[in-house]
Amino acid sequence: MILIAAAWITLLLLGGGLALDRVLSNAVTRNFDDSLNYVLTAMVASAEIGPAGEVLLNRPLGDQRFLEPNSGLYYQISGGGLEPFRSRSLWDRSLKVGEKHNDIDVHTYDSKEFADEPLRVLERDVILPGSPVRWRFQVAQSRAALDDQINVLRRTLVRSFALLGVGLIALAALQTYYGLLPLRKVRKAIARMRSGAATRVDEPLPNEVAPMVEELNALLEHNENQAEEARRHAGNLAHALKTPLTVIMNAATADAADLPETVCREAKTMRRQVDHHLARARAVGRRGHAHSRAEVWPSLEAVERAVGRLYPDVRIDRAGPRDLSVHVERQDLDELLGNLIENAAKYGGGSVFVTVSGEAGFVEFLIEDDGAGIPEEERQRIFDRGARLDTSKPGTGLGLAIVRDVAEIYGGTVGLEESEDLGGLLVRLRLPAATEEPEAARSSTIRSTSDKRR
C-alpha cells in the first residue's frame, strides 16, 4: 500500500510539476517579450526618414544599455539596400535579417547567431510615411536573464514538490500503519483466543473493522455451536447404544438360551440407531446448502403410509396447501415428520391431525392428537436425551430430542402446546420455506380431511 501510494504521489507530482513549470515559464517568457515589444513599439514611433532616404530616430531610446557595447540589449533597422541603422551596443556586429518573415506582425524567436550569447529577438516590418521601402525593425536581448529566472523558478518547483512528495508519502505511510493497527489488534486477540486467555474479540475497534470482528465472533459462536452439536450427537448415540449393549451383556452373563436371538435383535436396534445418527450428522453437513429442498405434501403422504402400517387403527388427517416446500433435505424432513406423527399415533387416542401452513418465510406444521397430552411443567424436559413420560410403550426417548436437534440444524424450531380441538398434545414445528410465496397464498390455507382411514 505504501509503495502504491508513493508511486501514485510521484506520478501526480511529476505531472503537476511539469504542467506548472510550463505555465510559469511561459508567463516569465511573455513578460520578457512584452518588455522587448515595448521597446520595438517605441522604435517604430520615433523612426523617420532622413534626407538621403535613410531611417533615423528622432529621439534616443531610454535604456542606457543600447549605448554600451555588447551590453546584451540591441536594436537594428534595415531595408532598402542601405546600411542597417544599429544600436551602439552591437558595436561591430549586426543582426541577421531572415527572409522567412515578411509581414507587419511582430515575429518572436530565439537566435544563436552570436556564438557566446543566445538571443531573444522580436522583429516587425514597417512602411514609414514618405518612403516606399519596407523596413525591418529588430530588437534583441540576451536570454541569460530570462534563463536565469526560469532556472530559479524550476529549482524552487523541484525543491517544493520534492518536499511535498516526501511529506505525502510519509503521511501515506503513517496512515497505512495506523489504519492497519486495528488488524494487528485483531491478530493479537486471535492469538489470545488460541492460547485460551479469551473466547471473543471484545476490545473496542473502529467502525471500519467492527463488522469483520462481528463476523469473526459469529464464526466462533458458530464453531462452538457445532462442537456442542457434535457432543450432543455423540451423547445421543451413546445413550441409544447403551441399552442394547446392556441387554446383550446381561443375556451373555446369564448364559440365556435365547442369546443368539437377543444379540441379533439388539444388533439390529443398534444398527438403526447408528444409521439414524449418521443421517443426522449428514444433516449438519447439508445445512444451509443452497439446493436443499423438499416438497411438504409428498413427504407427509409417505410418512402417513408408513405410520399407518404400524398403527392401522389410528386415523391420520391432513390439511393445508399442497404446493409448499421447505429448505430441508427430503430424508431429514421424513425423519422429523415421522418421529412426530409416530409419537402422536403411539401416545394418542386414535386420531391425529396434521395442519400445514406457510407464513413469514417459514412452513409451519401442527401435529395434534387426542391423547392425554404432556403437562406444561414437563414440556421442556421431554426434549432431553432419553426423557420418557410413558415407559409402558417401547421407545428410546430420543424422538423429540432428535426432532429438536435436526430442526435447529436447519434454522427451525419445535414447541409443545395443548391442542384446543382434540384435547391432546399439539406439536408446532417451523421450518424455513424453500421459496417465498405471496402473502395471500400463505393465508389461504383450506382445511380438508382425508377420507381414508389409516
d(CA 201, CA 209): 12
- Model pTM score: 0.49
Give the number of other CB atoms < 10 A from CB of residue 77. Answer: 22
The 10 Å CB-count burial string (b at 16+, else e) for 233-242 is beebbebbbe
Which residue from 78, 86, 38, 85 is spatially nearest to 62, judged by alpha carbons? Answer: 38
pLDDT, one tens digit per residue, over 37-86 is 999 999 998 888 888 788 888 888 888 899 999 999 999 998 877 888 99
Domain boundary among 132, 149, 166: 149
The whole-number pLDDT of residue 52 equals: 79
127 is a domain residue: yes
Query: Out of 82-91, 152-161, 387-396, which region has the weakest mean confidence (pLDDT)?
Result: 387-396
**How many CB atoms are located within 10 Å of the residue 125 CB?**
16
Decide if 250 is inside a domain: no
Per the domain annotation, does 167 fall within a domain?
no
**Residue 96 pLDDT > 80:** yes
- Residue corresponding to grid cell 536573464: 145
* Residue whose C-alpha cell is 418421529: 339
The b-or-e profile of 37-61 (16+ CB within 10 A means b, else e) is bebbebbeeebebeeeebbebeeeb
**380 pLDDT exceeds 70?**
yes
Domain count, the chain: 2
pLDDT score of 426: 92
Helices 210-253 & 259-286 angle (0-180, nearest 10) = 170
For residue 372, give every residue at least 6 positions away whose Cβ sits within 8 Å of its Cβ, in sequence order, or none.
347, 424
Amino acid 454: pLDDT: 34
Q: Residue 129 is part of which domain span?
A: 2-149
- b (16+ CB within 10 A) / e for 322-356: eebbbbbbeebbbbbbbbbbbbbbbbbeebbbbbb
Q: What is the mean pLDDT of residues 319-323?
A: 92
Joined grid coordinates for residue 190: 486471535
Report yes or no: 35 and 149 within 8 Å, Cβ to Cβ. Answer: no
Q: Taking 50 as the threshold, does the pLDDT of residue 452 lie above it?
A: no
Contact indicator for 344, 368 with CB cutoff of 8 Å:
yes
Q: Chain-wide mean pLDDT for the chain?
A: 83
In a domain, 351, yes or no: yes
Is 389 inside a domain boundary?
yes
Query: Can you give the CATH number for the domain in which 25 is found?
Result: 3.30.450
